[in-house]
Amino acid sequence: MTGPLRSLLGFSPLREAGELERELRQTTEAMHRACESMERHVEVVETLAGSVPALTDSVNALVKELNGLLAVLAPLTAAEHPLSAAEREVTRVERLLGRRRAESPVGDEPPGGA
């Protein structure tokens, strides 16, 4: 008696088994796609990890070249401002002699007037 009632209501053990099988197949396919995607990600990460030492070597070589360039440019920069070095020497001598520029302004009249 329940068989005809189940048929009328659309319930069938074969239909239910078929739906379960379809869902299981879809789930299995989704898991395969996820695994393949993870494998591709692992390959990309391995490629990146393999390029790090070469990148490190390139950066170190660039730093060496920049240090060499700075060593060459340092004398050129000093030669651009030769008076500043001379002015520093004059300031040192004035300090040694106890004179300061503020104490002896240019253009003052000698004491006692003229």
The answer to whether 76 and 83 have CB atoms below 8 angstroms apart is no
The letter for the amino acid at 50 is G
pLDDT score at 80: 64
Q: Which residue has the higher pLDDT, 34 or 96?
A: 34
pLDDT score at 17: 81
Q: Which pair of structure tokens corresponds to residue 51?
A: 């390029």
Q: Which pair of structure tokens corresponds to residue 24?
A: 């299981």
**Residue pointed to by tokens 């240090």:** 67
Question: Would you say the pTM of this structure is higher than 0.85?
Answer: no
